[in-house]
Amino acid sequence: MSSLLRLATAGSVDDGKSTLVGRLLYDTKSVLADQLDAVTRASVDRGLSTPDLSLLVDGLRSEREQGITIDVAYRYFATPKRSFVLADTPGHVQYTRNTVTGASTAQLAVLLVDARKGVIEQTRRHAAVLALLGVPRLVLAVNKIDLVDYDEETFRVIAKEFTDHATSLGYADGSVLTIPVSALAGDNVVERSARTPWYSGPTLLEHLETVPVAPDPHDAPFRFPVQYVIRPRTPEHPDYRGYAGQVAAGTVRPGDEVVVLPAGLRTTVQRIDTADGELAEAGAGRSVTLVLADDLDIARGDVIAVAGSAPVPTDELDATLAWLSEKPLRPGARVLVKHGARTVQAFVEELSSRFDEQKLSTLESPETLQLNEIGRARVRLAEPLPVDEYEVSRRTGAFLVIDPADGTTLAAGMVGAPLPVLRSDRDVVSPGP
């Protein structure tokens, strides 16, 4: 069976993102006749002579009316080599919020720029957000290359500027690729273009099909948030007690010594159960049920971790917040924090800095964090959580900030400071009172 690559797109308005996604779907024959008929009809209604591929993906009535993408949409396509889940994120004003949503699960992101405009503020900002969210690989698609007469020099300048920017964000050379494309004409998206003989790299699709999927960190220390306790109490299984969840990091095997957090109880993994039978090991991403050697009091929200390398539960988080709500954050705000399978009460003690994605610098002690802004905060928790640093583990270092009044998701939270620039302003947060 093929593997699965989760990717996200990012780019500003009018740089042709919907057209690129439409082109990927169209050229991989992921668009079926009735969908194409609908697009052709709608294009003719607008007086266009060829089908507008962006209409394949702009699904909402108001999006078609305005010709823009409003919200993250998910697209699916497959080739014999790989299946793809693509989070198609809009580029307009709500940029950070949507980019954060698309990037949180992405293993690769495709950023677009218009070859005539080059790297703009929005490109830098998007790349910073993608780096912050820990997206392991970037592709810069230099689009509309046909409109600069397939000029190599224009491409080289943009590619160098972008690669330098990505490097300053912490990306290594091998994790960033730049490709000259024309989404409209189809150059180097799926089909190799004869009009860019100076470009010897892969087409976008070739790259997506062959890039190593950043695996979940199997060799990281084992982490397992308990989602649900399975107790059948049926005649066949009167005494069964299993702890259901998804391996968040690392690998587990029967016989492993583990510790249950936050209580700190030690025991041994007896069995790894699934409906299809026992497993000899389970790696990150797999949903299983653990049966432990001792009868301990374990509930939803607890974390089972490898005994030798378990996190120390803390009731104070030094974290980076990407603020996603129209309601600004002020120090002292009472919120809920959801980490793994546990939700605890919390309050934001201090806003220590705000990140300027454009200048890649930080502003000390801001009064608020507004919609789409990213900053560092100190968060006090009513109960301790066994967190990891986000840069070590995307799963166990991430949390949601939720409004206790109406349940709105206010922020994407990342433990620590995943970008060097966020770290530079202050070293370690002082211990709480």
Site string for another protein, 355-384 (x = CB under 8 A): ------------------------------
Structure tokens at 340: 């793994």
2-21 residues in contact with another protein (CB under 8 A) are 2-4
CA 391 – CA 416 distance, rounded (Å): 8
Q: Which stretch binds another protein (CB under 8 A): 154-162, 212-220, 313-321, 327-335?
A: 212-220
Cα 177 to chain centroid distance, Å, stands at: 19
Helix extents (H) in 67-203: 95-103, 121-132, 152-168
Looking at residues 87 to 146 of the shown chain, list those that interact with another protein (rule: CB under 8 A): 97-98, 100-101, 104-105, 131, 134-137
For the CB of residue 141, give the shortest distance to another protein in the complex, in Å: 19
Q: How many Å separate Cα 9 from the centre of its chain? A: 11
Give the residue among 417, 126, 350 at the shortest CA–CA distance from 425. Answer: 417
> CB of 131: closest distance to another protein in angstroms?
6
Site string for another protein, 303-342 (x = CB under 8 A): ---------------------x-----------x-xxxx-
DSSP state of 382: E
| Tokens linked to 100 | 């954060």
CB of 137 to another protein, least distance (A): 8
Q: Are 58 and 71 in contact (CB under 8 A)?
A: no
Please, which of residues 59-78 interact with another protein by CB under 8 A?
59-61, 64, 70-76, 78
As given in the structure block, the two tokens for residue 101 are: 């949503």
Closest approach of another protein to the CB of residue 152, in Å? 28
Per CB under 8 A, contacts with another protein among 166-185 are 169-172, 174-175
Write b or e for each residue in 203-221: b if 16 or more Cβ atoms lie within 10 A of its Cβ, otherwise e: bbbbbbbebeebebbeebb
Say which DSSP state 187 is in: B
Note whether 28 binds another protein by CB under 8 A.
Answer: no
**Shortest reach from residue 151's CB to another protein, in Å:** 31
Q: Are strands 265-274 and 287-292 parallel, antiparallel or unpaired?
A: antiparallel
CA distances from 232 to 229, 236, 238, 240, 268 (A): 10, 9, 7, 7, 22
Among 150, 209, 399, 415, binds another protein (CB under 8 A): 399
**Choice from 402, 415, 421, 429 touching another protein (CB under 8 A):** 402
What three-state secondary structure class fits 164? helix
The distance of closest approach from Cβ of residue 412 to another protein in the complex, given in angstroms and rounded to an integer, is 5
List 68, 85, 120, 185, residue binding another protein (CB under 8 A): 85
Stretch that binds another protein, among 189-197, 242-250, 261-269, 306-314 (CB under 8 A): 242-250
d(CA 159, CA 119): 9
Residues 403-432 that bind another protein (CB under 8 A): 406-409, 412, 418-419
